[in-house]
Amino acid sequence: MSTSARSAATAFTGWGMVLSGAAAVVAALWGVSPHPPLVPELALAGLAALFAAGWVLASYRAGARERDPLHKPRPDTRKPNPVLRYVLCFGVPFATFAAFLTAFTVSGSYGRETERLERAGYAEYEVTVVRLAGEPEFHEGDEDHDPYYLTDLTLRIPYEAGPREVTVRGMYTRFKAPRPGRKVDVYFAPRDPNTPVVEDGRRSTVRLFLVAFLGLWIWPLILVAGFTIKAMGDANDLHRLRRFDPGVHLPALAVLLTGLVLLLPKALDFQVAGHDQLYALVSSLTPALALTWVVKRV
């Protein structure tokens, strides 16, 4: 008859570790923080780390009580928990994708500037050409490009405070040279005349691209990986993971903590040796490494 070093403290800290870690992954995938510092995500990840430390300590204390000769052992009557099985199987691929997305988070300064521009109404608008501010510069087309003109244009910009004339250098027009009265598209902020008027002012949408387009391929792979892990994992093996084993859990937790540390430069918007994104990309490997260690040891 086996005994299990468990207590109310191990149950509380164990589930706290799992749930706060899952919440951190969901917050990262959802993009709760559009730019660094990623406070909610780091707070949840830090809470998971604290719960993990508490679970280790509580498990050692529970084990010490079981080794007491006066302690009456209790049989482990717990049944495998299906919820824990799904959390572990799908948590690894989702955590991997969350770390990967974090690597492509824009910098704090870029994110704050984007928010400022959004408040000022920054977007692409159609405006009128008032006059040509220079001679059109013609460029021949080829097999890959149509012929086009680059021209300095004076445009009428309809700011909220009143229209102004602004000259934009090197405006692109295809096939025909521009002329007064023609409509062209430019980026400007109607509520902030000090923001430059530019032809191509699109803000970075790398994260949106990864979620929307790469997600068409990544999300199915995540689900396949999750169901594969679930199919390969024995219910009794997963159940034994609830019982602390230093040789299994301490290295796995150390790998996950290393991954969290590697995310800090990107999450807090600072560089180490000139890099931040590189460390975040490396951190996306740590959930799979931790799982590999556990599978080999269980």
pLDDT tens by residue, 101-158: 999 999 999 999 999 999 999 999 999 999 999 999 999 878 788 899 999 999 999 9
User: What pLDDT score was predicted for residue 1?
Assistant: 35
CB atoms within 10 A of CB 215: 17
In a structure prediction context, what are the per-residue pLDDT tens digits for the chain, which is 298 residues long?
333 456 789 989 999 999 999 999 999 999 899 899 999 999 999 999 999 999 999 998 887 766 555 555 565 555 666 677 777 778 888 899 899 999 999 999 999 999 999 999 999 999 999 999 999 999 987 878 889 999 999 999 999 999 999 999 999 998 889 999 999 999 999 999 999 999 999 988 777 777 776 666 666 766 776 666 666 556 666 667 778 889 999 999 999 999 999 999 999 999 999 999 999 999 999 998 998 898 788 7
Q: Please report the pLDDT score of residue 180 as a whole number.
A: 96
Query: pLDDT tens digit string along 168-179?
Result: 999 999 888 999
Q: How crowded is residue 167: how many other Cβ atoms within 10 Å of its Cβ?
A: 14
- What pLDDT was estimated at residue 89? 76
pLDDT for the residue numbered 90:
80
What backbone phi and psi angles, to 5 degrees, belong to 40? Answer: -60, -45
What pLDDT, on the 0 to 100 scale, is given for residue 81?
Answer: 66
- Sign of the Cα torsion 48, 52, 58, 63 reads positive
Pairing of strands 148-159, 183-188: unpaired
| Strands (DSSP E) found in the chain | 123-132, 137-139, 148-159, 162-174, 183-188
- Per-residue model confidence (pLDDT) at position 77: 58
Distance CA 268, CA 114 (A): 18
Rounded to two decimals, the pTM is 0.82
pLDDT at 292: 85
